[in-house]
Amino acid sequence: MPKDTRVLVIGLGRFGGSLALELVSSGWEVLGVDSTQRLVQEFAERLTHTVMADSTDPEALRQIGAHEFSRAVVGIGTDVEASILTTSLLVDLGVSNVWAKAVSRQHGRILEQIGAHHVVLPEHDMGERVAHLVTGRMLDFIEFEDEFALGKTRPPAEAVGMRLGDSQLRSKYGITVVCIKRPGEDFTYATADTVVHRGDVLIVAGKTRQVERFAERS
């Protein structure tokens, strides 16, 4: 864990609140900030520190020591103007890593333009992820930048009983089998000598469309 384990979380709604609690459970010190007294009181006993403050006020941010944090999360979603202004102020204060929640792609682009280092679209990302699970054979799906993804899926019939090195899955589908899980066992790293069995679960990596295409054959 880094030496500086403090995180400033502004906005203690569903996203910011759950994120703050997860950070605390992982051993991080969290200063939770919200303009609503009810939310501040709700999290007072669960976070390291909580403060009621208007994060769109530069002086209020200075008073809570926002400039002393190297990591901050702006979890404000419904008030887009407050989200943008708060993010801009944190960047101006020199916070070196600012994560900001966006409620739309347009909102996300604005946050990037004003200097947010990381933009999160939780509703969009989760909707996209669930769509893959509902419409395909994917057991789980995570998409990263540049249309790169990890997929959790069953092996296609053509690979069952074969060594991965002989299956030619990479040349056929453009994916790499990263891990494999046998029923009742833990995940293990896959190698060229790994033999695929019916009922196995595979973690595959590759371009999003290639991972989707591979899962369709499972």
Q: What's the CATH number for 6-120?
A: 3.40.50.720
Which of helix, strand or coil describes residue 179? strand
Q: What is the mean pLDDT of the chain?
A: 92
Query: Residue 1's pLDDT is what?
Result: 58
| Rounded Cα distance, 125 and 131, in Å | 10
* Percent of the chain scoring above 70 in pLDDT: 99
Q: Which residue in 217, 187, 216, 212 sits closest to 201, CA to CA?
A: 187
Sequence spans of domains, the chain: 6-120, 125-216
Q: What's the CATH number for 125-216?
A: 3.30.70.1450
Which of helix, strand or coil describes residue 170? helix
Q: For residue range 49-82, what is the model confidence (pLDDT) as tens digits?
A: 999 999 999 999 999 999 999 999 999 978 999 9
> Quick one: pLDDT band at residue 100, thresholds 50, 70, 90?
very high
Residue 151 confidence (pLDDT) above 80? yes
| Rounded Cα distance, 213 and 149, in Å | 12
Residue 209 confidence (pLDDT) above 70? yes
